[in-house]
Structure 1
Amino acid sequence: MEALRTDVAIIGGGLGACAAALAAARLGCRVLLTEETHWLGGQLTNQAVPPDEHRWIEDFGATASYRALRRGIRDYYRVHLPLTAEARAREALNPGNGWVSRLCHDPRVAVAVLHQMMIPHQLSGRLLAMLPQRPLAAWTHGDRITGIVVRGIESGRDVLIEAPYFIDATPYGDLLDLAGVEHVLGAESRAETGEPHAADRADPRAQQAITVCFAMEHLPGEDHTIDRPRQYALWRDLRPPGWPGPLLSWTTSRPETHEPLTRFLFEAEDGHPWWTFRRILDRANFEEGFARSDVTVVNWPQNDYWLGPVVGVDPAERERNIGAARQLSLSLLYWLQTEAPRPDGGVGYPGLRLRGDVVGGTPDGLAPAPYVRESRRLRAELTVLEQHIAYPLRPDGPELFEDSVGIGSYRIDLHPRVGGAGYLDTGCWPFQIPLGAMIPVRVENLLPGGKNLGVTHITNGAFRLHPVEWTVGEVAGLLAAFCLEKKLTPRAVRNRPALLEAFQSLLQREGIELSWPSLAPV
C-alpha cells in the first residue's frame, strides 16, 4: 500500500475542510485533503445549498477568509458574466435574489472560487487535494491517530495517509467512528444534558432530516416532465404525523409555531413563494437574452427525508435511505410537473425543467450528495448546551467563553427528526465558539472540521450552517499549525492561559472575530 506523509491531513472536503486547508497552508504546513465527490465545498457545492447566514453577515460576524469567499463569488459574477449595469454596481449583489440568503448563487461558481483560493497553495506544493476518495480505516496508537486509509472510488486503490494532525471534515463524522474517538449520535436525553428541549430518552437514530436538493428552471409552453419515479405513489399518498396534510402539497408547517402555511410556486400568502426561496439565478440581474429562465434550488420542507437515519448505520441502510431521499425529491418534481394545483384552477407545471448541469451532471439530475444536517458529534472537553445560547433561557445574554475561538449566529433550527419529532425553531443569542468544544476528551491529534464539534442534538441546530462550519474548520487548521510549530497539543493550548492567549492573538491576526458587539437575539 502506498503511504503519503503530510503535516495536516483533512478527511472530507466540506466548507470546513476548505477553510482548514487554506488556514494550515497559509501558515506553511503541508496539507493533504480528501473528498468523496468530485467537488470540494460540501453544503455550498455538492449538496447545493446556498449559504444560510445571519442578518449581520455583510458587516461582521464572519472570518476574513469567509468574507473573501463571499467577495470572490460576487466578483466572479462581475468579471465573467453579463450582469446589468445596475446589478454590477450593487455592492451586495445577490445573483439569484433568493429571499433565504443574501448570496444565492450557482454552486458551480462556488466551486470555481474555492479553486481560485486554493490554487496558489496547490501550485506551491503545500496542498494536495485527492478526489474522489473514501476513508476506510484508521490506525491508532494509544490516544493518537497514526494513519487513515482511503480508497479511490474510481481507481479502487488504497492509500495510507500519515500525519501528526488529522481533521475530520466528513459530513457524517466518519473519522470519529473509524478511529474510536468518543462521540455522540442522534438525540441525548434530558437527564444527560439538562436541556429543556432534549428528548426524554437518548436515541442515536433520532437524527435530523436529510435533503437531496435539485435545481430547476421554468419554461412555459414546453413539456419537460420526467419519467414517473418508482416510489411516486408512496410519497404522493404519505401524510406524516403532525403534518397539516399530504407531504406533497403546497401547505406545510411553520417551523416556529407548527401552524399550517400555504405557499404556491409563484405566489404565497406571506409574500414569499417557493420559486424565490432559494433562487440562484434571477434573469433581472443579467443582460436580456442571457438565460431562458430563472433557476431555483429545491430544498423545501416537502423533500426533507426523515424516515430513516444515514449516520451511524451500516452502509446498506445508509444507501437505502439516501436512495429513498432521492426518490422523494424526484417525486416532488414529478408532482410539481403533473399534479400540483395551480391558482388558476389547473394542475401541474410541465415546463419545469430539471437542471442537472447545475449540480455537476449526476445521472438522476439531483445534487451529488445529500444535505446532511447532523453529524456524529465529538465528546469534547466542553459541550455547548441549550442553556448556554438559547434566548428564552438567558434573557441577559449568552454564555461568554474565555476560550472563545470564533463567533456564530443562527436560530436553534432543527428539521423533523427520524422517529417523529417535528420542527424545533427557537430564539438564540449570537454566540461564541469555545475551544473546549473542539478538544476531544481523550484523543490528542484529531480536530473537528465541521458540524462534528462538541455540541448537542439541540445546539447543532444553531451551529450547523455555512459560516460557523467555515470558522470551525479554519480554527482547526490554524490550531494544528500552531501546535506543530510550538510542539504542543491542542489540550495544552486550551488549558494553559499563556498559550491560549497566544493562540487567540494568532486567530485575531488571521481575521477571526472572538466576540460579538451588543446584539439582539435571532
Structure 2
Amino acid sequence: MTTQNVTKADIVIIGGSLGGCTAALSALKMGKQVIMTEETDWIGGQLTNQAVPPDEHKWIESFGCTRSYRNFRDNIRKYYKDLFPVTQKARENDRLNPGTANVSRISHEPRAALHVLTEMLAPYVNSGKLSIMTEHIPVHAETKDDAVTAVTVQGLRTGKQLVLQGAYFIDATECGDLLPLAGVEYVTGAESKQDLGEPHAVDGPAEPQNMQAFTYCFAMDYIEGENHTIERPAEYDFWKDYQAPFWPTKQLSWYGLVPHTLEPIEYSLFPEPGRFSLWEYRQIIDKDNFEEGTYDSSITIVNWPQNDYWLGSIIDVSEEERQHHLYMAKQLSLSLLYWMQTEAPRPDGGKGYPGLRLRKDVVGTEDGLAKYPYIREARRIQSLSTVTEQHISAQPESPLTAAVPFEDSVGVGCYRIDLHPSTGLNTFIDISAYPFQIPLGSLIPVRVKNVLPASKNIGTTHITNGCYRVHPSEWNIGEAAGHLSAYCMTKQVTPKEVRENKVYLTEFQQLLKDQGFELEWPHTHSV
C-alpha cells in the first residue's frame, strides 16, 4: 500500500443509501470526519436512485420518526413551495402531498429528495468534513483482530482504486456488499421454522437464495392523443406469456392478488369506480397542485406487482447470473410499459394507451429505468439480537397486545410485515404488526468490532425485514449507526460495550433523545 492511494477519515460509509446519508449526517453532527461512497451518481438510495416514494405509517405527521426525518419531510414541502408555482390551496396546505399518492403522505420526485439530501449535507461538504465519492464500489477489505482496518474502493468510470482507512466502517449499501468483503458473519434469504420458531418461516431447511423480489421502477406521464410507444422490448414475448404458479393470470395484466388475503383483484390504470387505481398508487406529481401549464400531466412511478422480478437473486451469485437477472428485470419493466401502451384492455373496450410517456428525465437515465433496482432484501448481519416475527406480530393467534419492548431501543418504526413474492416462487406474506422498536443489538455484529449496518442489513429475519425495510425505519437505523460510531470513538468503547454497560447505554440513549429520536411508541395499535 502506497501513501498516495490512501485516504483517511474517522468514519467510512460504504454506500450512499438513505441510511448512508443519515449515518453521515449524524456522525458529522458529532464532529467526525466522514467519507461516503456511492455506486451510482445519485445519493439517497430508495428515495432517489431507486425512485421509490416514501412508504410511511399513518401517524408519521405527528410521531413515529426522528426529528431529522421530519425536517426532511418539511424541506420537501418547502422545495416545492419555494421553487414551483403551486396553487394557493397547495401553498396553504401545511401537509402538502405533491403527488397525492395513496401509498404516501409526501410522495415526490426523486430529484426533490436528491436536492434536499444534498442541501442537508452541503455544510459538511463545503467545510471539508464530508467527502462524497459517487460511482465507486467496494472491492476489498483488510482486517485484523476482529476489526476492519481499510476498505478498497474502485471508480466505476476510471477503474482506479483507493484505499479508505477509518476507525469505523458502516455498510450502507443496498445489498450489504461490505459484509462478505470484511468477513462479517451474515445470513441471506429465508430462515427455517426450526431456526427461530417463526410461524411464517419456511418448512424444512433454510433457503438462503429465497429472497423478496426486486424491481426496476420507472416514471411515466400520460399525454392524451399522442403516441409515445417505446420500441418492442427484446424479451417481450417471454414476459407476455409468463405466469407464476401462484398468480391468478399472466403477469402482464390488470390482475393481481390482495397481499393479506391472496384473493384475486382487478386493478385499473386510471381511477374507476370500485377498482384500485395503479396510477394513483405511487403518483409523485399531481398536476392539480400546481398552476395550470406547470406540468403537462401528473406523473406516477411504476412500482407495481406486475414489474416485481422474482425469477432469481442478485446476491451471492456469479456475476454472469447477476447480470442476467438485472437484464431480465429491466426487460420486465419495459415489457409492462410496452404492454400498457399497445395491448392493455381499456374500459371503453379498446386496447393500449399510446399516450403513456416514459419520463427518462425524472429518473435521470438513458433507458428510462431507475439508476438502481429497488432492493427489498439484503444480506443481514448475524447480530447480538435478532428481531423475529414473535416480537412484533399482531396476528389473531399471536399472544402479544403490543410489540415486545427492547431496553436497548435506538428508535421506532411501523409497517405491516409486508413481503413481496420471492425468488423461491412463494407468494405474498402480508400480516399485521404492532408499532415496533429498533434494538441496538440488531445493529451490532456478533464478532467484528468496528463495522455497523445502516440499511436493510440489520439483524432481522426474512420475515421481519418485511417491515423494517421502509424509508422512515432505514432513516432511523442509519442515523443511529452514525451516532453510535461517533459515540464509540469519543468514549473509546465498542458498540457491544455500549449495549452491555448500563451507564453507556443510558448515556447513548439520552444522546439520541437529545437529537430528536423517539425510542418508544405512545400506543400499541397494529397496522
Partner of 1:255: 259
| Cα drift, residue 268 of structure 1 | 4.3
1:436 to 431, 435, 441: 441
2:161 to 158, 161, 180: 158
Partner of 1:373: 376
Matched, 1:318 2:322: yes
Matched, 1:199 2:202: yes
Correspondence list, 1:325-336, <5 A: 325-336=329-340
Q: Which amino acid aligns with 2:230?
A: I
Matched, 1:128 2:106: no
Distance 1:508 1:230, change over 3 A: same
Matched, 1:229 2:233: yes
| Cα drift, residue 260 of structure 1 | 0.7
Please report the TM-score for the alignment, with normalisation by the length of structure 2.
Answer: 0.98
CA contact (8 A) 1:388 1:394 kept: no
1:476 to 481, 484, 502: 481
| Cα drift, residue 270 of structure 1 | 4.1
Q: Which amino acid aligns with 1:208?
A: Q
1:34-75 superposed Cα distances (whole Å, 9 cap, x missing partner) = 000000000000000000011100000000111111111110
Q: Which amino acid aligns with 2:286?
A: D
Partner of 2:51: 48
Whole-angstrom CA distance in 2 between matches of 1:29 and 1:314: 37
Matched, 1:18 2:27: no
| Cα drift, residue 311 of structure 1 | 1.2
Please report the TM-score for the alignment, with normalisation by the length of structure 1.
Answer: 0.99
| Cα drift, residue 267 of structure 1 | 2.9
Correspondence list, 1:158-307, <5 A: 158-200=161-203, 201-268=205-272, 270-307=274-311
1:86-120 superposed Cα distances (whole Å, 9 cap, x missing partner) = 00110110001111100110000100000100000
1:462 to 454, 467, 470: 467
Matched, 1:74 2:100: no
CA contact (8 A) 1:262 1:268 kept: no
| Cα drift, residue 142 of structure 1 | 2.0
Partner of 2:367: 364
Whole-angstrom CA distance in 2 between matches of 1:270 and 1:163: 56
Partner of 1:33: 36
CA contact (8 A) 1:13 1:35 kept: yes
Partner of 2:122: 119
Whole-angstrom CA distance in 2 between matches of 1:446 and 1:395: 33
Whole-angstrom CA distance in 2 between matches of 1:394 and 1:365: 47
Matched, 1:495 2:495: no
2:107 to 87, 104, 107: 104
Whole-angstrom CA distance in 2 between matches of 1:433 and 1:235: 39
1:400 to 378, 400, 405: 405
Whole-angstrom CA distance in 1 between matches of 2:493 and 2:127: 26
Whole-angstrom CA distance in 1 between matches of 2:25 and 2:386: 27
Partner of 1:447: 452
| Cα drift, residue 239 of structure 1 | 1.3
Whole-angstrom CA distance in 2 between matches of 1:187 and 1:271: 33
State the SS of the aligned residue for 2:268.
coil
State the SS of the aligned residue for 1:120.
helix
Whole-angstrom CA distance in 1 between matches of 2:393 and 2:256: 25
| Cα drift, residue 123 of structure 1 | 1.0
State the SS of the aligned residue for 1:420.
coil
State the SS of the aligned residue for 1:263.
strand
CA contact (8 A) 2:271 2:280 kept: no
State the SS of the aligned residue for 1:280.
strand
Partner of 2:520: 515
Matched, 1:426 2:431: yes
Runs of 4+ residues over 2 Å off in structure 1? 267-272
State the SS of the aligned residue for 1:391.
coil
Q: How many residues align?
A: 521
Identical positions, percent: 53
Q: Which amino acid aligns with 1:455?
A: T
Whole-angstrom CA distance in 2 between matches of 1:145 and 1:386: 32
| Cα drift, residue 288 of structure 1 | 0.7
CA contact (8 A) 1:168 1:446 kept: yes
Q: Which amino acid aligns with 2:525?
A: A
Q: Which amino acid aligns with 1:381?
A: L
CA contact (8 A) 1:95 1:281 kept: yes
CA RMSD between the two structures = 0.8
Whole-angstrom CA distance in 1 between matches of 2:379 and 2:465: 10
CA contact (8 A) 1:262 1:269 kept: no
Whole-angstrom CA distance in 2 between matches of 1:346 and 1:135: 50
Whole-angstrom CA distance in 2 between matches of 1:311 and 1:269: 42
CA contact (8 A) 1:383 1:436 kept: yes
Gap regions ≥5 residues in structure 2: none
CA contact (8 A) 2:17 2:45 kept: yes
2:95 to 85, 92, 95: 92
Whole-angstrom CA distance in 2 between matches of 1:84 and 1:267: 23
Whole-angstrom CA distance in 1 between matches of 2:500 and 2:240: 55
| Cα drift, residue 282 of structure 1 | 0.7
CA contact (8 A) 2:219 2:363 kept: yes
Whole-angstrom CA distance in 2 between matches of 1:459 and 1:291: 40
| Cα drift, residue 395 of structure 1 | 3.3
Whole-angstrom CA distance in 2 between matches of 1:209 and 1:420: 10
Whole-angstrom CA distance in 2 between matches of 1:119 and 1:398: 38
Partner of 1:5: 8
CA contact (8 A) 2:266 2:275 kept: no
CA contact (8 A) 1:122 1:128 kept: yes
| Cα drift, residue 398 of structure 1 | 1.0
Between stretches 317-326 and 329-338, larger displacement belongs to 317-326
1:371-392 superposed Cα distances (whole Å, 9 cap, x missing partner) = 0000000100000000000112
Partner of 1:340: 344
CA contact (8 A) 2:403 2:524 kept: no
CA contact (8 A) 1:217 1:296 kept: yes
